[in-house]
Structure formats: structure tokens, C-alpha cells
Structure 1
Amino acid sequence: MTVRPLRDRRYVVETDGGTYVVALAAGTCTCPDHAIRGARCKHLRRVAIDVTEGELPAPDERVGICAVCGSETFVPVEQSGSQLCATHQPEVGTVVRDRETGQLVVVTEVTSVRADAYDTGEGRAVDEYATNADYGAHEPVVEAVYVDSLSPSRDLADAKRYGFPASRLREVDPEATADSPEGVAVDEEA
């Protein structure tokens, strides 16, 4: 069986016996088995399995392309703008590293606004800053706060937020220690 999503949130299932349309949300299929007997047919089951395993978008999702790596990802149907796959979308509250300064920042929001359209409030877009020249203007902007700007008297909500193209931020290596450069293994026996 070959299964493909349609734009109207249904799926086409092609088999040796024919081509059928499955509406997963409604639990219907155009095959004779379902149409005549009302049984949950193999086409409905196949679509449900493929959606559950992440092979197909759910009825309320569509296929998007990650602006960083170009891989396919599933996003809500109504979501517009630039998209990120699970690998490149940091979670809000995560501490990541700014590739340009090496400083740690806390992610406060992941937007779908492109770096060339994100208004910084200073009369220019995120992609117009020289430090962002090596990153994609098409990438969504991630808002973050520099960790160094936080203190007991100033919480995350009061700190100045900065916008970064998504690929400018990278995960912090959990194995790194204060005594070793990030990304370099620490020899415990030395």
C-alpha cells in the first residue's frame, strides 16, 4: 500500500485492488469493505499506523520543511512562516550557546517569523546585523536572554530579549565541565 496525505486532511491509499480515500478524523474509507459493511478496513488501519509512527502528518498537520536542515517536519495546518524540525527547535527555558559570542542564553520563545522579517525594534531586521551574516535570513527567529544578564533581583521576564536566527544557537554539551572546553571529552584518569 502507498499512502499520501491530501491537502484537505484526508489520505489517498493506493493498492493493487484500487485507490481509496481515507478520512482518518471521521473514521471513513471509500473502499467497498468499509462502505458496504462499515468495518474498520485495512486502509484506515494503515493510515492510523503511519500517522502514529510519524510517517504521515496527522489530520490537523501538514508537511513543512525545516529552515535549518531542509528535512521534512509536521506542523499544524494553520501554522505559517518558517519551520524547524525537532532537532533544531529548542525548548523554551533551555540553556543554549550563542555561536558568535560563546555566551550562554536561555530560550524564551521560538517564533515562526523569518530573520529577514523579524522587527528588532531598532529599525532593522535580525538578519541585518553583521553578527548574523553567516546564518539564513529565511530561518525562524529564536528569542533568548543572556544568562549573564540574570540575577536574583532580575528574573527572566524582566531581562532584555534578543532575537537570533535559529542556527546561531547550539545545544550545550551536557558532558562539558567548567574545567574543560565544550565538546572535548574529559579524561577522568589523567
Structure 2
Amino acid sequence: MPHDKKRERTNKDISFFFFFFFSLLKCNYKKIFVNTYTLSNRAGGYIKNCTINNFEALAEHAVAQCYIKSTGAVEAIKKKVKANDEFAQVTITNCTQGITPLLGQQATIPAGSMQVFSFDVYSENPLQSSHTCVVGLYDSMEKLIDNITIQFTSYALQTDKVTYYYYYYYYSFISFSI
């Protein structure tokens, strides 16, 4: 008889334990919360090549072409706050004096593929000079992944000598006659 009573107590204790355990699981399940809006895919990438052709200052503009290779396994897209917020951002900054500032560009790059970014580069300096700019690649979390420095030359502005002398003498005549 004492053995049966002991067995009954054990069964009651076990049932109470399971009830208590499952009620804890139920409470903990309600407290588990995952915010899916903060999740984002970060894919790697690198700048394969970036070139700017030499050009004549003030008369022409150059086109900078940057080839970006995605090394991620999935297409990485930044969370959609605005329609423009996407994976890769390429910027050209820290250019030497005389180069107008350039706006960055954003694009979604599919996994393992290459994307070409094109920028129009203008020089404000009429004299021949060599320039450098820094090209930066940022991921969807706006973290710098890769950067390179590119070099190019803007040639002196070629002017017609007759037109130059005409303007020079015309404006000097007006300034002295007044």
C-alpha cells in the first residue's frame, strides 16, 4: 500500500510539473517578439574598375564609369522606407580643386552580377591639371565596403585667338572710355 501512495504522489507531481512547464512556455511564447522591419540583407561587393577619360575643361565633360561586382549569395535590398532606398550606393568624393561635386547613385544589384554606374564629371578650371577622386561603395546599412582612388587629366580650354583678342580689346576699350 505505501508503494501505491508514493506512485500516486509522483504522478500528481509530474502532472503539476508539466502544467507549470507548459504554462511557462505559453507565457514565454507570448513574450517572444521579432521585429521584421529591422532585418536587412547585407551583401558584399567590390569596385572592379572605375575610369574617367581625359577631357577639355569647361568645354566638355567626362564620363566616369564604375563597375561594381556583387559577391553576395542573395539580392540584398535595404528596407523600403522610400522607393529609392536600395542596396548599393556609389559615391565619388574628395576630388581635387576644380571638379564639381558629384551626386551618389543607388541601385539593387542581383547576387553575383555586375552593375555599371555612370557619372558626368565637369571641371571648373580652364587650365590643364591632373585630378584625383575617391570612389566609395556602401552597402544597404550605409557601411563603406570598398574604395579606390582614380586619376585623370583635364586639358586646357582651347580658345580661338581672334575671339580672345576681340573680347580683350572690346572690354578694355569700354573700361577706359567710361
Q: TM-score, normalised by structure 1?
A: 0.24
Please identify the structure whose Cα radius of gyration is greater. 2
Higher helix share: 2
Q: TM-score, normalised by structure 2?
A: 0.25
